[in-house]
Amino acid sequence: MATSRAPLRFAEAVSATVSESAGSGFFFDYDGTLAPIMRDPGAVFPVAGAVARLQVLARLVSKVAIVSARPAAYLRDRFSGAPQLRLFGLYGMQTVEDGRVRTDAEAELWAPVMRRVAEEAARDLPREILIEDKALIVALHYRSAPALRGAVERWSSRKAAELGLREQYGRMVVELRPPVERDKGTVVAREIETLTRAWYFGDDLSDGRAFDALRGREERDPAFMGVRVAVANTETGDELARVADFTVASPEDTPALLDHVISAFPGRPPAVGAGSRHR
């Protein structure tokens, strides 16, 4: 996740986005970016003000999207008040179109294998490990028992080698998923093809691929501007923050940063103070 271009100033990024609003897009991870990280994934909701800001933003620019490891049906439920958002679940293996979840045909072929993985994880791993079965992804959460990280990673690596699966490491979690070419980077790369400006907000290792997609487009097209925003955390956030253009301290600060962007559009009220670092 190296970066090569000159540092970007926040005011410059906002001004360039406002001036090319019809060609601009905003892309967001969910957990750790728009919502807190919690021990119970099912108890997580967007932070206060997040959905409202995304609704406003969607009226001002060409695209606003959520790109997440969560199932698309979950995202549809959490963002039901903002139907104009584009929703990409399971790293792009699922999308929501006209309110319906669409699953990638290549990935869907792996559903029986992933069911087997979930069953074997429940049988083999200590009960302190939370096994989250997302149908096409099996997430092994060790947040409640950090000392078991090694055991989880060893089991996951063996299973990936045995079944030809891919591993994704994250914030006190290891995910196993089908070996299809879908990740946050491929989603963002496809979605920005028609854009001249694109922002991506993320907090975890998988978000680095989206950062790379923005940088790759910049290298091919000098007229394109990518803006990388990292949400700080002590678990996996350092690597992402080092290559980000800007950082915010927590998911609760993401709406405040968006206020600064939104307020720059004509006719919008000025933003009040925010807890972000526009470095």
Taking CB atoms within 8 Å and a gap of at least 24, the contacts of 51-56 are 51/79, 51/81, 51/82, 52/255, 53/254, 53/255, 53/258, 53/259, 53/262, 54/26, 54/28, 54/79, 54/82, 54/85, 54/258, 55/81, 55/82, 55/84, 56/262
Residues β-bridged to residue 227: 199
**Separation CA 171–CA 128 (nearest Å):** 16
Q: Determine which one of 29, 31, 207, 212 is catalytic.
A: 29
Under 8 Å between Cβ of 205 and 238: no
Measured between alpha carbons, how far is residue 157 from residues 5, 209, 266 in Å? 36, 21, 52
Q: Is 221 a catalytic residue?
A: no
What are the backbone dihedrals phi and psi of residue 77, each rounded to the nearest 5 degrees, phi first? Answer: -70, -45
Lay out the sheet containing 138-141: strands in order across: 130-133, 138-141, 173-177, 166-170
What residues are labeled active site?
A: 29
